[in-house]
Structure 1
Amino acid sequence: MSRSSTDSGARATGRRGTPAGIVVVGNGMAGSRLVSEIRARDRRVALTVFGAEPQQPYNRVLLSNVLAGVTGPEQIGLVDPAWYDANDVDARLGVEVVRVDRDARRVHASDGSVTPYDTLVIATGSTSFVPPIPGTEDGLPGGVVAFRTLADCRRILDAADGARHAVVVGGGLLGIEAARGLAGRGLAVTVVHLAGHLMERQLDQGAGSVLARTLGRLGIRTVLGTSAGALATDGDRRVNAVELESGERLPADVVVMACGVRPEVGLAREAGLKVDRGILVDETLRSLSDPHVRAIGECSQYGDTVYGLVAPAWEQATVLADLLTGADAGARFTGARQITRLKAASVDLVAMGETHFGDDDPEVEVMRFADASRGTYKKVAIRRDRLVGAILLGETSTAGTLTQLYDRSAPLPSDRLSLFFPGMGGVQAADSPVRMPDAATVCHCNNVSKGQIRACWEKGARTADEVARETRASTGCGGCRDALEGIVAWLDEQDSVPVG
């Protein structure tokens, strides 16, 4: 029998002799990845994970697909519950850690248990930010949901059942995903965004305008430069309209709050750890306050940066697993390049690096191509013959090429047009399996190269799904799925070509 069914009681009481190994607080995309990476390296270390959510960990990036109805909740799971028993992991699902006693090295949980640790890893992620809007003083009214978790997704779907009008407050990445998910279910959706254009952190004005036009073709209206002033409700305290600061009143059967997230650092702060926006860590992901505490994912802060994307969190999990198991004592996290991807029906977007450069910086060369009628916008920013930023919206065939150039800070081709249009000037996109070197990274979320995909295929994985299960390629944001399928198809073609 597994540890979770035999000695969880001993662990809970913290009796003398109970093995105090690694305790992970948080079983989301960062925490669950760390647990699986540790077990892949060491099957003996005592390992306990607490997850405040009761279900198996899931891919939060794909929640918008669940909203749209193209993916079922059961299809976005990251770890099968049976895996914990099979791998001797004490999984406390639906149990929240409420206090950390750093002196005694124990964590106190919501079920009354007390668990000792040698190393504590905090991976509590982020929580939704809900601004103080009139109408929310006594909590969110019926039909209003802050979109962050699978439970939130289910609440939105319940509210959307039979609804006609939806309002999404917030036009960042999460808001756009929620809007297209609801529009996919036939609702009339309006996105309300305070900034002057959508996704202002990742996109410039031109790209934001093209994105708004693309969403309009999907039946999603965009209202910019204003915010929700109040939520109007009926006698049952159920939302029926959103009153904007501009004075406009929007009918609403469903309101999704997507106003951003904040690192969940309450537990760390109460434990006396050093916290800025996130828990401050060094390049070994160790807390600057306590050598026995580490932090990864959205709740951690390395230098001045809190990483809000999945790829850096999974990179941190790999580094920390190497360190905690001794697989690589020299492993270090020294920062990550952030690449934002949004792939939905009629909305395909990749943004990386510094995207807001204009023509007023003499040290930066900026190239743009826009075709708003087709929903296409392309931009690259170049400094000293190196790519420092890029946006591809609507047509992303050169995304692989740009990502590799950006990741490696490699010299650019002399024909700059090839960065926008593959094949021009004799330069083909690195996405093409023929031209792509084995060292090229295909899946940036999981750091999977073309060579690893080829090796997996040569070992017998003959479909994209089989390769994905073995390598994890395409299981993050899903943006590389087309590239993965293309490589597998190309390998199949090469295998079928007769010798001579």
Structure 2
Amino acid sequence: MSTRIVVVGGGTAGVRLAQRLPVTLLGEEPHAPYNRVLLADVLAGRYEPEVIALPAPQEPVRRGVRAVRIDRAARVVECEDGTAVGYDRLVLATGSNPVLPPLRGLRGTRLPVGVHPFRTLDDCLELRAAVRPGVRAVVIGGGLLGVSAARALAALGAEVVLTQQGERLMERQLDAQSSALLREHVESLGVEVHTECRVSGLRQTDGAVTAVELADGFVLDAQVVVLACGVRPRVGLARDAGLEVRTGIVVDDELRTSDPYIHAIGDCAEHAGRVYGLAGPALEQADALADLLLAEATAPPVVGIRSAGAERVGTTDGALAGASAPCASVPTTAGPPAGPSAPRTSVPTTAEPEAPRPTYTGTRALTRLTLSGPVALDLAAFGDATPLPGDDVVQLTDATRRAYRKVVVRGDRLVGGVLLGDLAAVGTLARAWEGDEALPDDAPLLHLLTHDGGS
């Protein structure tokens, strides 16, 4: 591929694209690209950092290089180290930043000693170095990230308190009953859980955190505080370049931004009004964009209408060739030149019919998590597990095995579900949901929750 493709961001989405296409990949972190999903296992000491490295891309990653400006007119990315990289196509895979809550004691991005975000490998390694058996650690945020961090800190022997402002843990993915079972499991690991609990500030001594203050006046002693309050798409580079930004960088079904030479994928991208923030959609977007760019690179020229005495030749997508690429030419045959008074005639030329262009139409994201401990707990959640009036709900609970399974059916479609403790049916359920398939009329709904998913 002669097109110069530059990717900004060495996370899951950027590396996946670089595994499929020869690109220049600018990674801000000094480490080799890694699987962010496994950071909690590194924190817990289950894996060393090299174990979570992602497969190497086609071209070496330029590590420790931070892009600071996009010159769209010149099609150049300017980097903090003074270098500049030209592109024909630019792909923004800048990911997301951890949300820093508005607490007393937090000013700007400078954090007190002992306060840690939990987003990067460096965050993880700093936390692991700070925690030892008996250390009092408070995790702020009871979502997927906070639960994972609390479990990992407990595995290191810390005395962990998990605070959640909402009514239940992982409230975005789980219903009340499955969340209650999750809470029981987390507490069995030695984690103290507080829900409906708003943190208002941090206490410090000599620049180091000593306690977490709650809005009700209660104070939690803390030597380590982990901020797991969610993430926000990293859009500063795109916004400064004048690209359309809402919550994320706005892209269409070809993952193009408002500049036709620039794409965005992964946590920073907003497609059809949605920012996913999950690894599965990031991988699907990277694959969709790779298919699109490969299709454009190998597509035959599209020949326009040739008038006598003049020739117009186009390509399937001038944007892919870029300003520096030569224009393709297609030979044509023509009759004698027309005289000044002769009528101008148009002669259509033939071309192969265009194949449909690859597009991205969205992802149905399934969340999976394994919590290790004396007894491991697996959970999976997909779609909307909160039924509407008229929906059918199938729910099974096995108190002995601490297993819970629930699906919601709307009409003839599976619209959501939660499985906790027993994921034997998750494969078939996920396929039916992701494919938006009509459920068989003759299959009892209870079969959806059997070990074979009713197959």
Task: Place the TM-score, normalised by the shorter chain, in its bin.
Answer: 0.7 to 0.9
Match of 1:342 in 2: 369
SS of residue paired to 2:414: strand
* 2:230 paired with 1:260: yes
Contact 1:129/1:260 (CA < 8 Å) preserved in 2?
yes
The 1-side partners of 2:49 and 2:228 are apart by: 20
Match of residue 299, structure 1, among 253, 268, 272:
268
Do the aligned residues in 2 keep the contact of 1:20 with 1:116 (CA within 8 Å)? no
Conserved? CA contact 2:9–2:94, under 8 Å: yes
Unaligned segments of structure 1, at least 5 residues: 1-18, 40-46, 423-427, 436-500
Q: What RMSD, in angstroms, separates the aligned Cα atoms of the two structures?
A: 1.8
Q: TM-score, normalised by structure 2?
A: 0.82
Secondary structure of 1:189's partner? strand
Q: Check 1:322–1:248 CA distance in 2 against 1; reply closer, same or farther (3 A cut).
A: same
CA distance in 1 between counterparts of 2:192 and 2:396 reads 24
Contact 2:132 2:158 in 1 (8 A): no
> For this pair of structures, how many residues does the alignment match?
390
- The residue number in structure 2 matching 1:380 is 407
Which residue of structure 2 lines up, in the alignment, with residue 332 of structure 1?
359
Q: Any gaps of 5 or more consecutive residues in structure 2?
A: 299-354
Specify the alignment match of 2:239 in structure 1. Answer: 269
> What aligned pairs does 1:172-191 form with structure 2 within 5 A after superposition?
172-191=143-162
Contact 1:213–1:372 (8 Å) recurs in 2: no
Residue 28 (str. 1) matches residue 11 (str. 2) = yes
Q: Which residue of 2 aligns with 1:231?
A: 202
Equivalent position of 2:385 in the other structure = 355
Aligned residue for 1:4? none
The whole-number CA distance in structure 2 between the counterparts of 1:263 and 1:174 is 16
Q: Structure 1 residue runs of 4+, over 4 Å off?
A: 371-374
Which of these residues, 287, 291, 315, is aligned with residue 318 of structure 1? 287
Q: Describe the shift of the 1:371–1:142 C-alpha distance in structure 2 as closer, same or farther (beyond 3 A).
A: farther
Letter in 1 for 2:424: S
Answer yes or no: is the 8 Å Cα contact 1:98–1:108 preserved in 2.
yes
CA distance in 1, matches of 2:378, 2:385: 17
Q: 2:47 aligns with which of 71, 78, 86?
A: 71
Residue 323 of structure 2 is matched in structure 1 by none
Residues 28 and 57 in structure 1, CA contact (< 8 A), matched pair in contact too = yes
Structure 1 segment 321-470 matched on structure 2, within 5 A? 321-326=290-295, 330-345=357-372, 346-357=376-387, 361-371=388-398, 374-410=401-437, 411-412=439-440, 414-422=443-451, 428-429=452-453
Q: Distance between the aligned counterparts of 1:178 and 1:56, measured in 2?
A: 22
In structure 2, how many angstroms separate the alpha carbons of the residues matched to 1:103 and 1:73?
40
Native 8 Å contact 2:204 2:210 kept in 1: yes
Q: Secondary structure at the match of 2:85?
A: strand
Counterparts of 1:76 and 1:36, CA distance in 2: 16
Larger Rg, first or second structure (1 or 2): 2
Residue 65 of structure 2 corresponds to: 95
Matches of 1:62 and 1:68, distance apart in 2: 10
Amino acid at match of 1:353: G
State, as a whole percentage, how many aligned pairs show the same letter.
Answer: 45
| AA of the residue aligned to 2:359 | R
Q: What is the DSSP-based 3-state SS (H/G/I as helix, E as strand, rest coil) of the residue aligned with 2:21? A: helix
Is the 1:322–1:329 contact (alpha carbons within 8 Å) kept by the matching residues of 2? Answer: no
| 1:134-213 alignment, distance < 5 Å | 134-137=104-107, 139-161=110-132, 163-213=134-184
Q: Cα offset for 1:161?
A: 3.1
